[in-house]
Amino acid sequence: MGCTLSNLAAKFAFFPPSPATYEVKKRDSDGKLVAVSGSTGVQIPQGDDPLLNIHVIETKRGNKIVAFYLKNPYARLTLLYSHGNAADLGQLYDLFVQLKINLRVNLMGYDYSGYGASTGKPSEGNTYTDIEAVYQCLQTEYGTSQEDLILYGQSVGSGPTLHLAAKLPRLRGVVLHSAILSGLRVLCHVKFSFCVDIYRNIRKIRKVKCPVLVIHGTEDDVVNWLHGNGLWKRSREPYEPLWIKGGGHCNLELYPDYIRHLCRYVHEMENTNTEIRLKKIRQQLKLPKKHGRPTVTSFAFDVLNLVALVAPAKAVFHAAIVVPAKAVFHATIVVPAKVVFHAKGVIHVKDVYRAKGVFRGFAVAAVAVAVPLLRQAKGSTVSR
C-alpha cells in the first residue's frame, strides 16, 4: 500500500518533456559529445563552445544521466543546479549561460533519470543517486570540493539538493528556488509527515550546516509561498530571503531582484572566510564568550578549531602534539582521526585530520602555528 501511494505521489511530481528537447551525439571529427536540438537537429549551442563539456554519468542504480558543465575562467565557486519537474537541459541551456556569466561561477546542470537524454525512470530514489553521481563527477573531473560548491534546487530539485546538502558539512551554500516542504504537502496541504511522503525537505533542512538562501514568489499557485517560508524558518543558518512580490512558480528569473539578490549571495559566499565561519558556529553552539587576555593554549585550540573546520585533508601529524590533561575540548573541535587516551590523563594526538579532499595551504600554516604553542602550553591549565 505504501509503495502504491509513493508511486502515485511520484506521478504527480515528475513531468519530463516528451519528446526530449535534445539528443546527445558524438561528433565525427573528434568524438566529443555534443547536444543537438531534438526538433531542428541544430547543435546546442549553435557553433562550438569550448567552455561547455557534456558528460554521460552512470549512477549507482545503473542509469546513465546527462550533465552539462559550463566553465567560467574567472570563477571561484561552482553551482550545481537541480532543475524543476517539467524541464530538461535543452530548455535550460540559455539560463545556465546567463547564470554562469552574471554570478561568475562554473555551473553543472544535469537531467534526472528519465529526463532529456538520461536513461531510466524518474523517481525520488533515482534523483538522489543522480545528484550523488554528478557530485562525484565534479570531484574527479574538475577537482571541485564541497567548500567551493553551492547547491541550487528549483521546485522538485530542492529534494535532491537538500538530500546532498545534508551529507556535506563543509558545503559553501544552498539556494532553494520555489522549493517544497514535501511532496504530499504540495498536493494536500497536510501538516504532518507520512511514511508515503516524498522529498521530506521539512526534515532535511535542519541538517544543512551552511547559509541557505530561499527565493519564492508570493503568488506561486503551484507551490505556495508558505513552503519557502517554512524552509527558511527551519534553516540552521538562514540567509536573507527573497520574496518576489507577484512572482509565480516559473517566472522568477524574469524579475530584476532575482539576479541582483542571487549575485549578492554568491559574492558573500565567495568572501566567507574561516574566521567568520568559526564565529557563526560558536554562536550556533552558544559557546561562552572569552573574557580577559586569551591564554596561549586557548589561542592554540582556536587555531586547531579552524583547522578542523577548513581542513578536509589527506595529511598526517605525527606524535608531536601533546595536550595537557585538564584541557577542555568544546564541541567545535572536530578530530576525524585516531585519538589515544593515555593512563596518565594526557591526550596524545596521532594522525590528526585524516579525511578526503585537498589540504589547503592556510590550514598547513595554521598547524605550523598551533604545534609550537601547544608544546609551550604543555602542563598548564586551560581556561576557557
| 220 carries an active-site annotation | yes
Q: Is residue 149 within 8 Å of residue 78, measured between CB atoms? A: yes
- Taking the C-alpha atoms of residue 379 and residue 191, their distance in angstroms, rounded to an integer, is 56
Query: Among residues 6, 82, 118, 155, which one is catalytic?
Result: 155
- Taking the C-alpha atoms of residue 131 and residue 109, their distance in angstroms, rounded to an integer, is 10
- Taking the C-alpha atoms of residue 377 and residue 342, their distance in angstroms, rounded to an integer, is 18
3-state secondary structure of 145: coil
Dihedral (C-alpha) 251, 171, 328, 348: value to the nearest 10 degrees? 170
Query: Among residues 55, 83, 216, 249, which one is catalytic?
Result: 249
DSSP string, 221-273: SSS-HHHHHHHHHH-SSBPPPEEETT--SS-GGGSHHHHHHHHHHHHHHHT--
- Taking the C-alpha atoms of residue 149 and residue 105, their distance in angstroms, rounded to an integer, is 10
Give, in degrees to the nearest 5, the angle at Cα 153 between 143 and 259. Answer: 90
Q: 7: which residues sit within 8 A by CB, 6+ positions away?
A: none
For residue 169, which amino acid is it? Answer: P
- Label residues 325-349 b or e (16+ Cβ within 10 Å = b): eebeeeebeebeeeeeeeeeeebeb
3-state secondary structure of 26: strand
| 249 carries an active-site annotation | yes
372 DSSP β-pair partners:
none
Query: Strand 33-37 to strand 43-44: parallel, antiparallel, or no bridges (unpaired)?
Result: antiparallel
Q: Cell digits for 132?
A: 550523488
Query: Among residues 130, 148, 220, 302, which one is catalytic?
Result: 220
Catalytic residue ranges: 155, 220, 249
